């Protein structure tokens, strides 16, 4: 994806949306309920956006939502793109590149994930403090120097100030948070028991099939990131996982995630 394509898409979206968003939001599987809290001014189907991929996964609606949330101008992806759908890593992060040109100042990301930390339970919210990326890196290939440096630092991939704010907001709302490391894998298979054990051994607390490419692209462009994993199944329990179960459990836990996101955005 070239800078010219990114600019072309951003120009189209900016004209349709009619305002400059302050905050970008990416909603994971079963987590689209946050959209109900947005005072929507414009909704654009991905299929109508030049150069945009189209989500093929059930539970991802495929719309770019513009509106007000917590007193801030936001743009929300109701449905994201995944490497396992056959998209390149560069296509997966293309919307984040477009959001940067639209003017976002920070990015909120969410995902449905399997818990590998034995202390976690289905329905928990885990604030992502670090990640292990096992998906091909979206920065491989020619660097777009206008967007960021060739070798970006990932030491604070998830913004410490936003993590602290999450703790304060959650305490005020009575929401219990977990904290930990997210492992991003390619999917689309759910993990074997040995794979779950491996991810735990290398420092992972949850595992999923998304997020890390978008975070890498955001940090390449110096966008602060806050991330939450919704634990929709516990991987080391030995129970079989289904996409329908992930959607169902994600929708339940999304209520608290929505409260957390709205509270944080209001406080920014």
Q: What is the pLDDT of residues 120-165, one digit of tens each?
A: 998 899 999 999 999 999 999 999 999 999 999 999 999 999 999 9
φ/ψ of residue 140, rounded to 5: -65, 135
Tell me the average pLDDT across 65-72: 97
Mean pLDDT across the chain: 92
Q: In which band, very low, low, confident or very high, does the pLDDT at 31 lie, cut at 50, 70 and 90?
A: confident
Is residue 237 over pLDDT 80?
Answer: no
Q: In which band, very low, low, confident or very high, does the pLDDT at 58 lie, cut at 50, 70 and 90?
A: low
Is residue 82 over pLDDT 80?
Answer: yes
HEC per residue, the chain: CCHHHHHHHHHHHHHHHCCCCCEEEEECCCCHHHHHHCEEEEEEEHHHCCCCCCCCCCCCCCEEEEEEECCEEEEEEECCCCHHHCCCHHHHCHHHHHHHHHCCCEEEEEEEEEECCCCCCCCCEEEEEEEEECCCCCCCCCCCCCCCCCCCCCCCCCCHHHHHHHHHHHHHHCCCEEEEEEEECCCCCCCCHHHHHHHHHCCCCEEECCCHHHHHHHHHCCCCEEEEEEEEEEHHHCCCCCHHHHHHHHHHHHHHHHHHHHHHHHHC
Which is more confident, 232 or 101? 101
139, two tokens: 């920065």
Could you give the CA distance from residue 143 to residue 96 in angstroms, rounded to a whole number? 16
Instruction: Name residue, tokens 């998906």.
Output: 135
Q: What is the pLDDT of residues 170-197, one digit of tens each?
A: 999 999 999 999 999 999 998 999 999 9
Q: In which band, very low, low, confident or very high, does the pLDDT at 1 lie, cut at 50, 70 and 90?
A: confident
Could you give the CA distance from residue 131 to residue 158 in angstroms, rounded to a whole number? 9
Classify strands 23-27 and 72-78 as parallel, antiparallel or unpaired: parallel
Q: How confident is the model at residue 238, as a pLDDT?
A: 59
Q: What is the largest CA-CA distance in the chain?
A: 50
């Amino acid at each position: 994806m070239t800078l010219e394509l990114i600019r072309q898409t951003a120009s189209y979206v900016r004209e349709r949306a009619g305002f400059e968003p302050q905050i970008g939001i990416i909603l994971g599987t079963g987590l689209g309920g946050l959209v109900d809290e947005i005072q929507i001014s414009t909704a654009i189907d991905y299929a109508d956006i030049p150069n945009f991929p189209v989500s093929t996964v059930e539970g991802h609606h495929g719309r770019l939502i513009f509106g007000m949330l917590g007193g801030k101008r936001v743009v929300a992806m109701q449905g994201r793109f995944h490497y396992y759908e056959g998209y390149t890593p560069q296509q997966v992060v293309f919307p984040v590149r477009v959001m940067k040109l639209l003017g976002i100042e920070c990015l909120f990301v969410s995902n449905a994930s399997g818990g590998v930390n034995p202390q976690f339970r289905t329905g928990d919210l885990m604030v992502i403090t670090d990640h292990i990326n096992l998906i091909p890196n979206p920065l491989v290939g020619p660097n777009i120097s206008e967007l960021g440096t060739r070798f970006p630092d990932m030491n604070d991939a998830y913004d410490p100030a936003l993590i602290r704010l999450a703790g304060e907001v959650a305490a005020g709302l009575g929401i219990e948070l977990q904290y930990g490391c997210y492992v991003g894998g390619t999917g689309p298979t759910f993990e074997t028991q040995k794979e779950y054990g491996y991810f735990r051994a290398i420092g992972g607390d949850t595992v999923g099939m998304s997020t890390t490419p978008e975070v890498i692209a955001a940090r390449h462009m110096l966008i602060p990131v806050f991330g939450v994993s919704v634990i929709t199944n516990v991987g080391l329990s030995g129970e079989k996982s289904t996409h329908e179960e992930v959607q169902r459990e994600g929708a339940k836990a999304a209520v608290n995630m929505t409260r957390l996101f709205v509270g944080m955005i209001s406080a920014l």
